[in-house]
């Protein structure tokens, strides 16, 4: 695929994000990065994908 890794990270300030990206670029194995910024989230349930992977379908909220 296009990506080897996809990270979802939260930062309090844009400077923290910039510092993190600069650190990532210090690794020889990193050829490039691509950044997507989400300014507003309508529904945030970060636990749901993990629950879906680990739980049988009948135990999920809509299962």
Does any domain span residue 8? no
pTM of the predicted structure, to 2 decimals: 0.60
The HSE-up count of residue 10 (CA atoms within 13 Å, CB side) is: 4
Structural domain range at position 42: 14-58
> What pLDDT is recorded for position 61?
60
Does any domain span residue 31? yes
pLDDT digits (tens, 9 = 90+) for 41-53: 777 776 666 677 7
Domain count, the chain: 1
Does any domain span residue 47? yes
Run means of pLDDT, 10 residues per run, the chain, 63 residues: 86 94 95 90 71 68 57
> What pLDDT is recorded for position 17?
95
Does any domain span residue 4? no
Alpha carbons 1 and 63: distance in angstroms, whole number: 30
- In this structure, the number of other CB atoms found within 10 A of the CB of residue 47 comes to 8
Does any domain span residue 35? yes
Reduced 3-state DSSP string for 21-36: HHHHCCCCCCCCCCCC
- Cα separations in angstroms, 31 against 34, 36, 44, 50: 11, 17, 31, 29
């Amino acid at each position: 695929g296009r990506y080897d890794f996809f990270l979802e990270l939260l930062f309090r300030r844009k400077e923290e994000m910039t510092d993190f990206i600069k650190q990532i670029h210090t690794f020889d194995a990193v050829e490039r990065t691509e950044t997507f910024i989400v300014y507003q989230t309508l529904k945030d349930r970060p636990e749901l994908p993990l629950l879906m992977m680990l739980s049988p379908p009948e135990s999920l909220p809509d299962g």
